[in-house]
Amino acid sequence: MIFDDSDVKIFNDTKNSDTFDEVSVISQMTKNRSNGNSQKAKDLGKALAERFVDEPQLLKEIEAEVGEIPRDDNTMYQYKVLLIFTAEYCINHLLPSPLLSNTAVNALYDTVKKKAFDFYDRLDDAAEYSFYYLAVRKGNDIPAGIGVSFAMLCGKDKDEYYEKLGKKLFQVANHEIEKIIESYSFVK
């Protein structure tokens, strides 16, 4: 009897190359905890969320930069979604490590969940982020792409006013969030 062993799998005890270096992650966690970065990331996420849920103050600050924002329910919701997206975008691009970015983003969402549960619950089920991520991935003119997505999500597809508003909201929020992140003086 001759066996065809072409379909026999041989167990290989080597680790998958896709696995991460656990020792390195633990080392990073320890370093970030001891140099204060972990606490700064938590504080940053919480502070950004608290700013976003204080709607009257937030509107006052943003409208000083972009002009009056329409107050209908959908536009206000999309406005907040765009701000949360922009915060996450900035956090992921400006913090010194993905580990710290995850810490800050988790604190951001935990705080939004505690302080504005209805918004968080609606956001958790929403697909808006995917349109903003597509604009970022295209990469040619991110603010303009964000503006187009904002207008479409507000139900104002191809409306120049809403496209400009979304673009300006992203630019202003991006600039302000960058300044806030810089103020935390993360150790690199």
pLDDT tens track for 133-144? 999 999 889 999
Query: How far apart are the C-alpha atoms of 131 and 145, rounded to whole Å?
Result: 9
Query: How far apart are the C-alpha atoms of 168 and 60, rounded to whole Å?
Result: 15
Q: Select from 140, 141, 138, 161 the least CA-distant residue to 151.
A: 161
**Of residues 64 and 20, more confidently modeled:** 64
Q: What's the predicted TM-score (pTM) here? A: 0.84
**Percent of the chain residues past pLDDT 70, beyond the cut:** 88
Q: Give yes or no for residue 157 having a pLDDT over 90.
A: yes
pLDDT number for residue 19: 56
**Of residues 58 and 132, more confidently modeled:** 132
Give the number of other CB atoms < 10 A from CB of residue 93. 12
Contact between 92 and 105 (Cβ < 8 Å): yes
pLDDT number for residue 22: 84
